Structure formats: structure tokens, C-alpha cells
């Protein structure tokens, strides 16, 4: 056993209550299942007397384990590293040097939030699982630890050379926020067909759980006819009404799901500019608090949707080195108009493409080849299915073919690339158009790829190595691809990667 | 390839090594073909002839083509790796983006005195670029060159 550090700390004692409550919640489900399987022969009262002591013992055992785990989990914020020691029977001690901690994020799930507790996660860039986390600390302690680590990491030299401008940015200014009304609008656009399909499928699978039969049109007829006899006389019209109601119910469910999901995730969204970078807080039940250091921003992605494009709604994602939960893309502005997004883009040190940018399309040969390939594959399939399969089955491959043709046409119209002074731009996508903005200096490698067909027809794809994301441009003329690579390689060579990371707080340039 | 004249060819021993690997596969293939040949009644050579063609392609033609299409260059502080017979790929990694460098030798490579140089970048896609078929001392020399360039940059 390792010797305890003199000034070690324990996690918050209330965390023990939360853990115990969670453990009990996990216990209830297996116990419930066990109870149903054991006691389903009816004699419930007799056997429960025998089972009760066992259940009590299990609960007590869990409480004891949770308590022991709490007493044995200690952490120390030392001079050069943070150490966490844990384990009842087998002890584990982990030390993470401050230089290796990329970011500290605080997360509050519902139960801890009621007790005012936070989970503190230390991101080391080791990729997910191996990161260090402390469950649960009080909110104040979490904030203190975060400040402590930030300051340790920035080191004394930054402290000393901190200029007046740096101090001025210490004051926090909110650069984007979403009120309840905006979240509601966002939720309406989050209506997803997939959810409707899933609910529809589930309704069909589990319709025995519903108090009525969703798909039985006759019953709908009766149901509708019940209150007013006049509907019964209408016959086929009532059937149509039944279908309309079923569809309307699915739509309402889809909208409601979208609203609830969005509200849970995005409630009270705030994006602030602090001296350490962009700070984002959001969430209704699980409130997350995340800081994206500006110098770690690698690229931006501006997305929109098929419908929301018409209303001018866009979203801005930041591709960064530190990993967000679930992906390296951080939502900076989930749902906003362009004039709201513009200042955020400015803060990250990137620029939206200027008006005089010369946009270029992919080569026509590239689009034609893709279209021809799709036709070669799908047309015979359609023909064969039409000849052999059941009457309406050929519609599926035919629809696929039409979709591909429409997609290629759309992408020919809307996919563009441009090489700017400091940045590269790539517009692509068909259902959800997106614009990627990459900094030329921050790319890692450039790769020209050509398949056999591409070599024959003289086009190439450019694949860029990007920390935290992917950036590809297809269908460029080979000479153009070479020119881009030459220029970008020169930009990359102009600054070493460690320089990019060490200019802390300074926006990308 | 109009830019290929400034590329350095890989070590000729790499060609032999690829042929050896292909030969091992070919032996397994021929054994299988022979079993099939004896199992299937009929004309002699119905399996052997196509198998022999595949073997000839694998052992003689493909390694030559692969060797001919591969190459690298180390000019202007950039590592350029070109490869691919059917699907062509031409990668450039500036030294300033290299995080760490591996020189690896498999058992066969050891026998031939060859090595594989792998450079890792911070990119999440295409993050490591490997260059097989270098003479071991060349790989070491390239590693030193890249490392020296990185150190010069960070100072």
C-alpha cells in the first residue's frame, strides 16, 4: 500500500449518498425480476418473510461497500501532478502531470445535481476510457480544482507576462445564449422521421400494450362513430379520418420527442468568452460545463438542414483536439442565425469565407462517373426485380436510382471548394448542407488519392490530416490537387505543431 | 505520374521480400488447388491452370508493379510517400507535424535487413503514415533526419 499524501482530500460525503442511491436503483430491477420469477406461483406473503433478510443483507452489503470505497478514494493536487488513490481490496494510484491534462470538464447528472455535486473529468487526450474522473465533489470544490489546474498548467511564466489585454478579457462576456423560446423553435426543427418510424414500428410491435388497436380501421370507425352517429353514415370518409388521425398522432409524437430531447440537451444554453477560452453550459437535468481552449480549435463546421436552411437557421461546430463526450466536435452554436454565428466565428480566430472567394466545383467527369456507376448498378437491378419480383417491388431500386441522380445533380449545383489565404473551405452535403472551414496552418498531412477510374479520367481526391476530424475534397483536377498540396504544405511548414499548441489563449492565426 | 522522377525507389530487397510473402501464399493456394484437382473428376488442369495463372500474377507481376509504384522523397522538410497499384495514394507529411517516429522490423524484414518507417501525426484520420521496404540503416538515418528537424523547430 502506498503511503498517503499528507494533504489528501476525500470526495464529498454527500457523494456517498448519491452512489448508494444509484446502487439501490440498480438493485431494484434485478430484485424485481427475481421476485416475479420466484414468486409467480402465488404464495407471495409466505415466501417474502424468508426473502426479506436476504434482501436487507444485500442492501446492507452494498452500503458498506459504497462507504468503504468512499473512505478509500482520496485525491491530492500536488505541485506537479494530481494523484488519485482508490480501491478497497486492490489499490490503484494514478498520477497525471498537469502538462498532460488537456481540459477539465464538470458534469452534473440529475441526482448529483439535487445534492449540489459535480463529476470532475480530467481529459488527458488518451482517448476516452483512460481519463481520470472524480465522482462526486461539491460544486465549489469542482470549480476550485478546475481553476487550480488551469493556473498550474498555464504556469508562472504566463502569470508574469500576462498583459493588460489579457486581463481585460478576464471579464466574461456571453457571446451566444438560447432562451426557452429559441430552444422551443429548435425542438420543432429537431422533428425526426427516424423517431416517427421507430415509434410507428414499436406501436405495431407492442400494440397489445395500447388500450386500443392503432391499425384496426374498423375499430377507429366505431370509435369515431361512438359520440356522433353521423360519422358512421359517412363510411369510407370515417376510414380516411382514421388514417389521418393515426398519422397525426405519429407526427405529434415525433414533434414531442424532438422538443423533449432538445429541451433536455440545450436548456439555458450559454456560450461565454473567458480568458481560458470558450465556456459552454447547457442541459436541463444533466447540466454540462465545458471549456474549449481557443488555441486548440482546429477547424469549424457550419451545418444546416434541408428545411431549416429555408428559415436561415444554422449550427456551428468546433473541431478541437480535446474530446467532447461522444465526439471531438463541440457544438458552439447549435441553432442560430448567421448574424449570431458570425461573432462566434470571429472569436475562434477563423473567418467566414469572404464575398470575393472564388468557389470551384468538382470536375464534371467526377459527377458523371458517379452517376454512370449508379445507373450501371441500379438499372439492371430494377429491370430484374421488375421482371421477377412482385408487382411493386421494383419501385425500391428505382427510387434509389432517382435519389442518386438527384443527389449528384444537387451536389454538382451546391458542392464547392475554395483555397483562401489562411483557410480552406469545402461546401458539401445534400440533405444537410455543411461548410467546413479549415486553417491551413493547422493541418497535419495532405494526401492525394486516385482510384483506377479517377486516374483514367484525371481527377483526384484530397484527404487532409486534421486533429479531431476529417476533411476531404473530392473530384479535383490532378494538377489543381497538386497545387493545393504544394501551397498547403508550405503553410504547414511555416509553424511547428508545438508552437500552435503553446500560444495559449491566443486565437488561431 | 509526372512528378515521380524526384522520388527515391525503395530497397530492391523489398521486391524479393514481397515475392517471398506471395510465394508462401502461393504454396498454400497450390496445395488447395491440388486437393481440389484430385477431388474433382474430369479433365486434368481444370483447377491447376487457373491456379497457376493466379500464382504467376501474385508472385511475379504484382510485387513488380507494387515495387514500381512505390516511392518516397524527403525534400523541403517534408516526407512524401507514394503507393498503390490500383488505388493511388500520394501523401505529404511536413516534419513540423510529426509527433513521434517508429522504425519497425518484422521477422522477415530482419532477415532481409529491411525496416518500416512510421510517422505519427496528431490527425485523427490518416494519423500514421508508414513506409515499408527501406534498408534498415536508411530508415534509421531518415528517423534521425526527421528528429533533428523537429528539434530544430521546437528550439
CB-neighbour burial class of residue B116 (10 A; exposed 0-12, middle 13-18, buried 19+):
middle
Domain ranges of chain A: 9-161, 189-265, 364-502
How much is the pLDDT for A322?
Answer: 52
What are the strands of the beta sheet with B88-94, ordered from one edge? Answer: A469-477, A459-466, A445-450, B88-94, B78-83, B71-73
Q: Write out pLDDT tens, residues B86-137.
A: 888 999 988 888 877 888 888 888 889 999 998 887 766 667 888 999 999 9
How much is the pLDDT for A242?
Answer: 77
How much is the pLDDT for B28?
Answer: 92
d(CA B150, CA A493): 11
User: Is residue B14 predicted with pLDDT exceeding 90?
Assistant: yes
User: Is residue A48 predicted with pLDDT exceeding 60?
Assistant: yes
Highest mean pLDDT among A10-19, A129-138, A432-441: A432-441
d(CA A463, CA B127): 11
Chain B residues near residue A454 by CB distance under 8 angstroms = 88
What's the gap in Å between the CA of B152 and the closest CA on chain A? Answer: 10
Predicted structure pTM score: 0.68
Domain ranges of chain B: 8-68, 72-154
Residue of A nearest to B81 (CA): A447
d(CA A136, CA A119): 5
Which superfamily does CATH assign the domain made up of B72-154 to?
Answer: FACT complex subunit Spt16p/Cdc68p (2.30.29.210)
Phi, psi dihedral angles at B78 (to 5 degrees): -130, 140
- Choose the closest CB to B89 out of A443, A449, A495: A449
Q: Does A448 touch chain B (CB under 8 A)?
A: yes
Q: Write out pLDDT tens, residues A276-335.
A: 788 888 888 888 888 777 877 888 989 888 888 888 899 998 887 654 444 457 888 888
For A120-157, the three-class secondary structure string (H helix, E strand, C coil) is EEEECCCCHHHCEEEEEEEHHHHHHHHHHHHHHHHHHH
A443 in Cβ contact with A466 (< 8 Å): yes
How much is the pLDDT for B105?
Answer: 85
Q: Which of B104, B101, B85 is nearest to B93 (CA)?
A: B101
pLDDT-derived band at A372, boundaries 50, 70, 90: very high
pLDDT-derived band at B13, boundaries 50, 70, 90: very high
Q: Does B146 touch chain A (CB under 8 A)?
A: no
Q: Does A465 touch chain B (CB under 8 A)?
A: yes
Cβ–Cβ of B127/A496 closer than 8 Å?
Answer: no
Cell matching residue A463:
484527404
CATH entry 2.30.29 includes domain A364-502:
yes
Highest mean pLDDT among A163-172, A224-233, A478-487: A478-487
Cα-based torsion angle of the residue sequence A333, A331, B123, A120 in order, rounded to the nearest 10 degrees: 130
Q: Is the ipTM of this complex over 0.90?
A: no
pLDDT-derived band at A497, boundaries 50, 70, 90: low
User: Is residue A69 predicted with pLDDT exceeding 80?
Assistant: yes
User: Is residue A27 predicted with pLDDT exceeding 90?
Assistant: no
Q: Write out pLDDT tens, residues A220-235.
A: 555 555 555 555 555 6
Q: Which of A122, A132, A17 is nearest to A86 (CA)?
A: A132
Amino acid at each position: 500500500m502506498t503511503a498517503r499524501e499528507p494533504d489528501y482530500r476525500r470526495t464529498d460525503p454527500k457523494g456517498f449518498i448519491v452512489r448508494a442511491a444509484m446502487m439501490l436503483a440498480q438493485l431494484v430491477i434485478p430484485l424485481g425480476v427475481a421476485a416475479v420469477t420466484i414468486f409467480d406461483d402465488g404464495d407471495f406473503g409466505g415466501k417474502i418473510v424468508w426473502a426479506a433478510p436476504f434482501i436487507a443483507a444485500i442492501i446492507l452489503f452494498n452500503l458498506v461497500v459504497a462507504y468503504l470505497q468512499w473512505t478509500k478514494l482520496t485525491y491530492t493536487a500536488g505541485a506537479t501532478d494530481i494523484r488519485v488513490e482508490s480501491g478497497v481490496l486492490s489499490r490503484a494510484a494514478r498520477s497525471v502531470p498537469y502538462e498532460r491534462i488537456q481540459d477539465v470538464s464538470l458534469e452534473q447528472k440529475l441526482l448529483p445535481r439535487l445534492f449540489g455535486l459535480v463529476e470532475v473529468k480530467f481529459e488527458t487526450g488518451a482517448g476516452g476510457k483512460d481519463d481520470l474522473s472524480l465522482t462526486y465533489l461539491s460544486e465549489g470544490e469542482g470549480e476550485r480544482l478546475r481553476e487550480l489546474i488551469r493556473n498550474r498548467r498555464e504556469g508562472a511564466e504566463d502569470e508574469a507576462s500576462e498583459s493588460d489585454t489579457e486581463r481585460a478579457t478576464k471579464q466574461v462576456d456571453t457571446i451566444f445564449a438560447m432562451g426557452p423560446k429559441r430552444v422551443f423553435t429548435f425542438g420543432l426543427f429537431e422533428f425526426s422521421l427516424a423517431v416517427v418510424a421507430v415509434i410507428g414500428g414499436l406501436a405495431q410491435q407492442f400494440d397489445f400494450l395500447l388500450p386500443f388497436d392503432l391499425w384496426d380501421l374498423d375499430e377507429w370507425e366505431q370509435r369515431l362513430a361512438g359520440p356522433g352517429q353521423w360519422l358512421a353514415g359517412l363510411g369510407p370518409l370515417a376510414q380516411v379520418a382514421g388514417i389521418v388521425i393515426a398519422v397525426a398522432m405519429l407526427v405529434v409524437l415525433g414533434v414531442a420527442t424532438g422538443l423533449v430531447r432538445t429541451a433536455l440537451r440545450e436548456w439555458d444554453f450559454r456560450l461565454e468568452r473567458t480568458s481560458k477560452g470558450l465556456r459552454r453550459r447547457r442541459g436541463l437535468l444533466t447540466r454540462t460545463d465545458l471549456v474549449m481552449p481557443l488555441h486548440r480549435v482546429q477547424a469549424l463546421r457550419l451545418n444546416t438542414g434541408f428545411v431549416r436552411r429555408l428559415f436561415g437557421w444554422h449550427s456551428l461546430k468546433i473541431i478541437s483536439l480535446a474530446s467532447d463526450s461522444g465526439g471531438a466536435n463541440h457544438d458552439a452554436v447549435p441553432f442560430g442565425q448567421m448574424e449570431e454565428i458570425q461573432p462566434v466565428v470571429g472569436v475562434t480566430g477563423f473567418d467566414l469565407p469572404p464575398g470575393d472567394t472564388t468557389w470551384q466545383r468538382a470536375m464534371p467527369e467526377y459527377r458523371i462517373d458517379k452517376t454512370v456507376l449508379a445507373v450501371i448498378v441500379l438499372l439492371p437491378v430494377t429491370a430484374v426485380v421488375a421482371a421477377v419480383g412482385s408487382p411493386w417491388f421494383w419501385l425500391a431500386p428505382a427510387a434509389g436510382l432517382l435519389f442518386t441522380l438527384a443527389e449528384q445533380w444537387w451536389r454538382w449545383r451546391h458542392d464547392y471548394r475554395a483555397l483562401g489565404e489562411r483557410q480552406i473551405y469545402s461546401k458539401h452535403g445534400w440533405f444537410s448542407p455543411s461548410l467546413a472551414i479549415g486553417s491551413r496552418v493547422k493541418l497535419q498531412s495532405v494526401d492525394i488519392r486516385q482510384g483506377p477510374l479517377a486516374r483514367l479520367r484525371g481527377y483526384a481526391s484530397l484527404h487532409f490530416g486534421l486533429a479531431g476530424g476529417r476533411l476531404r475534397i473530392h473530384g479535383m483536377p490532378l494538377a489543381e490537387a497538386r497545387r493545393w498540396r504544394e501551397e498547403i504544405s508550405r503553410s504547414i511548414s511555416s509553424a511547428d505543431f508545438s508552437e500552435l499548441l503553446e500560444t495559449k489563449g491566443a486565437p488561431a492565426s | 505520374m509526372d512528378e515521380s522522377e524526384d522520388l527515391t525507389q525503395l530497397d530492391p530487397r523489398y521486391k524479393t521480400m514481397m515475392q517471398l510473402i506471395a510465394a508462401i501464399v502461393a504454396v498454400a493456394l497450390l496445395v488447395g488447388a491440388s486437393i481440389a484437382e484430385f477431388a474433382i473428376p474430369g479433365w486434368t488442369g481444370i483447377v491447376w491452370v487457373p491456379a497457376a495463372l493466379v500464382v504467376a500474377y501474385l508472385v511475379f507481376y504484382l510485387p513488380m508493379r507494387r515495387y514500381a509504384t512505390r516511392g518516397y522523397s524527403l525534400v523541403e522538410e517534408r516526407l512524401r510517400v507514394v503507393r498503390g497499384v490500383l488505388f493511388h495514394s500520394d501523401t505529404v507529411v511536413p516534419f513540423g507535424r510529426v509527433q513521434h517516429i517508429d522504425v519497425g522490423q518484422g521477422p522477415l524484414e530482419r532477415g532481409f535487413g529491411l525496416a518500416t518507417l512510421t510517422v505519427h501525426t496528431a490527425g485523427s484520420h490518416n494519423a500514421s503514415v508508414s513506409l515499408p521496404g527501406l534498408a534498415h540503416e536508411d530508415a534509421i538515418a531518415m528517423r534521425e533526419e526527421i528528429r533533428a528537424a523537429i528539434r530544430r523547430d521546437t528550439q
